[in-house]
Amino acid sequence: MTLALALLPLLALLTLLAGLMVTPVTGLLTALSILLLRHVTPEPLPAVILFAAGSALILSIGPAWWLGRYTDEAAPSRVAGAVILSLALLIAGSLSLPSEDMLQNPALLAAPFIPIDAAVVTVALGVTFIGLATLSLRSGARYQLAGLLTACDGLLLTAANIRNPYAGWLIGVCVLLLAGAGTWLVRRLSLLRLKSTERGEGGF
C-alpha cells in the first residue's frame, strides 16, 4: 500500500468538511494510485489506464477551477448525518472484506474481476462510499458536487484495479459525462443563490 493510497480515505473524509478545496488533491492522489498500480509489470502502461488517470485528474481539477468564482450558500450546513453514514459505511466496507485472505481462494472470485492489489479494493470502495454519503446527505450543492467527484475517483480506482481493465473506457466516459453535467447544474444553482443573496442584502 502506497502513501497515496493510504491518504485517499482521509482526504475523502476531509471532502465532507472542506468541499471542493480538497477535490484536486484527491484527484491527484487517485491518478497517482492508478498509475502506481502497475509499476511491477515491465511493459508500458495500457492506454485505458492512462485514460483513467487522465479523467481522474480532469474531473477533479476542472470543476474546482470552474466553480472557484462562486461563493458558498449562507444556509447552515448539515454535516452530522453524512459523517455518521460515511464512517459507518467505511467501517462496514473494510470489515466485510478482509483484504488479506481475499486472494487466498481464487475459486470463489468471479473470473474476470480478479484485482491486482487487494488493498485497493477496500480503499476504493471506502472512497466511493464516503463520496456517495456526501452526495446524498450533505446539504449545499457545492459540497454535494465534491462528494460526487470523490465517488467518481473511487470508481475509477476500482475500474483500474482489475487485471483486465476493459471497463475503464466506459466508466471513464460515464464519469466525465456525469461530472460535466453536475458541474453545469451546480454552476447554475450557485448563480441563482448569489443573485438571491444580493437582492436580499439590497434591501428588498
- Residues in the site for another protein, rule: CB under 8 A? 96-97, 102, 108-110, 113-115, 121, 124-125, 128, 131-132, 135-136, 141, 144, 148, 151-152, 154-155, 158-159, 162, 167, 170-171, 174, 177-178, 181-182, 184-186, 188-189, 192
DSSP 68-80: TTSPPP-SPP--H
Q: Quick one: 40 or 107, whose CB is closer to another protein?
A: 107
As measured in angstroms, the least distance from the Cβ of 184 to another protein is: 7
As measured in angstroms, the least distance from the Cβ of 160 to another protein is: 10
Tell me if residue 115 falls in helix, strand or coil: strand
Q: Quick one: 6 or 191, whose CB is closer to another protein?
A: 191
Give the distance from CA 62 to its chain's centroid.
Answer: 14
As measured in angstroms, the least distance from the Cβ of 103 to another protein is: 9
As measured in angstroms, the least distance from the Cβ of 40 to another protein is: 19
HSE of 196, CA atoms in CB hemisphere, 13 A:
10
> How many other CB atoms sit within 10 Å of the CB of residue 57?
18
Q: Quick one: 28 or 175, whose CB is closer to another protein?
A: 175
As measured in angstroms, the least distance from the Cβ of 117 to another protein is: 11
Alpha-carbon span 13 to 148, nearest angstrom: 13
What Å distances lie between residue 128 and 41, 58, 72, 133, 188, CA to CA?
A: 27, 18, 24, 9, 25
Q: Quick one: 13 or 135, whose CB is closer to another protein?
A: 135
Q: Quick one: 3 or 92, whose CB is closer to another protein?
A: 92
* Residue type, position 124, single letter: A
As measured in angstroms, the least distance from the Cβ of 181 to another protein is: 5
The answer to whether the CB of 138 falls within 8 A of the CB of 17 is: no
Residues recorded for the chain: 204
Q: Quick one: 111 or 203, whose CB is closer to another protein?
A: 111
